[in-house]
Amino acid sequence: MSAIYMDNAATSFPKPEGVSSSMKTYMDEVGATINRSVYGAAQDAGLTTLLLREAAAKLFHFPEPATHVILTPGATASLNMVIKGLLKPGDHCIVSSMEHNAVMRPLLQLEGVSFDRIPCNAEGLLNPADVEPLIRPNTRLVIMAHGSNVCGAVQDAAAVGAICRRHGIPFVLDAAQTAGHIDIDFEGWGLSALAAPGHKGLLGPSGIGLLLLRDDFARLLDPLIAGGTGSASDSEYLPDYLPDRFESGTPNLPGIYGLEASLRFLQEQGIEKLHAHEMALCKRFLEGVKNIPGVNVCGPQGLNNRVGVISLDFVGQDNAEVAYRLETEFGILTRCGLHCAPSAHKTLGTFPRGTVRFAPGFSTTEAEVDAVLAAIAGVCQG
Ligand SMILES: Cc1ncc(COP(=O)(O)O)c(C=O)c1O
């Protein structure tokens, strides 16, 4: 029985050709770090890092120089850097009711910081008109999951961004489920920052992520980590220029080489083509599942306002047992449970039961989707 990987919302697999070989080349033939030395291998590492920053800036229509693309250990680290680097006691923050714990847990660690949740409907979608009434004089940040990791619902970031801009409030997008899936317009949507993991839709390795910072927003952030940057070594204070201010310590060079290769792949393929493939699979999946009694789709029922993250609730069955059967009897790899997003499940009405999540990827085929549908039908028959 060959496995069908349906867990791309957790992490993408397989990676495009070239990702692991680029990492291997770094490990076997380059080996040097950046910003410290000037010999050939160090220059190679420096150039690859620059190419990565430039590719990310281009991908997200980022108006700032590539220096403002900060390399982090992942989306969680990027979000912590924003939330804990910005908010102080007395501040107020606005989030959506669909947030991942990568936003909620750092926020709840901050004493004296209050927040409100923008309500979302039973499909996991917010109404931008609900944002303005939540704004208070001390609101310092609006931070929002662009795409839900539970049900794939995609929020209208442009509309929320326009409201934030009107009120002069920084707007930060958690693009963990949309980066690499949807064309994100950093400048057009008025973003102050964007957080993305390298290992999901960007198709790179785990252990590396991005934080794109608009210059005026970066000036408001206190760096969470301080240390050697290989620059301004005459001073014991952190430099005030980017990316160094937010990149203390030796970076994840194998990750940088891997992510640089995967962003090249994304650029060659084009986000639109990959998105069209994902949506075609999603359509096939949603249409097929509609005809299977005993299973409900949670979140957006159609193709509008969504990415290809599909959560199912198996009526009258234990969803964890269903996921186990899908794996052991059919070789289908899913994720079940609450997906680190309890508030999203409360919004969708699936708390504390959870759901079984299916997320096809760029290399998933129609035949694999059909096999998944047949397996779901089999599991629903008993
Ligand atoms: C919406 C959302 N935000 C943040 C994260 C955190 O990403 P990472 O675990 O790669 O740091 C995830 C990961 O599943 C996510 O789905």
b or e along 26-52 (b: 16 or more beta carbons within 10 Å of the residue's beta carbon)?
Answer: beeebebbbbeeeeeebebbbebbebb
Sign of CA dihedral 139, 81, 177, 148: negative
Predicted local confidence at residue 318, as pLDDT:
94
Predicted local confidence at residue 382, as pLDDT:
77
Predicted local confidence at residue 1, as pLDDT:
79
4-14+270-381 is a CATH 3.30.1370.60 domain: no
- Locate the ligand 1 atom nearest the alpha carbon of residue 146 and give its number: 1
- Mention the CATH class of domain 19-269: alpha beta
Please report the beta strands in the chain, taking only residues with DSSP state E, as ranges in sequence order: 4-5, 69-72, 92-96, 114-118, 139-145, 171-174, 193-197, 209-213, 295-298, 310-314, 332-333, 335-337, 355-358
Beta bridge partners of 5: 333
Collect contacts of 40-49 with beta carbons under 8 A, ≥24 apart: 45/253, 45/256, 48/256, 48/257, 48/260, 49/251, 49/256, 49/260
Residues of the chain with CATH 3.90.1150.10: 4-14+270-381
> What are the residue ranges in the chain where pLDDT is below 50?
none
pLDDT tens-digit profile of 210-227? 999 999 999 999 999 999
Q: How far apart are CA 377 and CA 294, in angstroms?
A: 9
- Round the average pLDDT of the chain to a whole number and report it: 97
**Ligand 1 centroid from CA 253, angstroms:** 21
pLDDT tens-digit profile of 61-102? 999 999 999 999 999 999 999 999 999 999 999 999 999 999
Residue nearest to atom 2 of ligand 1 (CA): 176
Please state the pTM of the whole predicted model: 0.97
Instruction: Name all residues whose Cβ lies below 6 A of ligand 1.
Output: 74-76, 100, 102, 145, 149, 174, 176-177, 197
Residue nearest to atom 14 of ligand 1 (CA): 10
Residues of the chain with CATH 3.40.640.10: 19-269
For 212-333, where are the alpha helices, taking DSSP H only?
215-218, 253-269, 271-290, 319-330
pLDDT tens-digit profile of 236-273? 999 999 999 999 999 999 999 999 999 999 999 999 99
Residue nearest to atom 7 of ligand 1 (CA): 75
Chain center to CA of 303 = 20
Ligand 1 pocket test, candidate residues 7, 174, 210, most atoms within 8 A of CB? 174
Residue nearest to atom 12 of ligand 1 (CA): 176
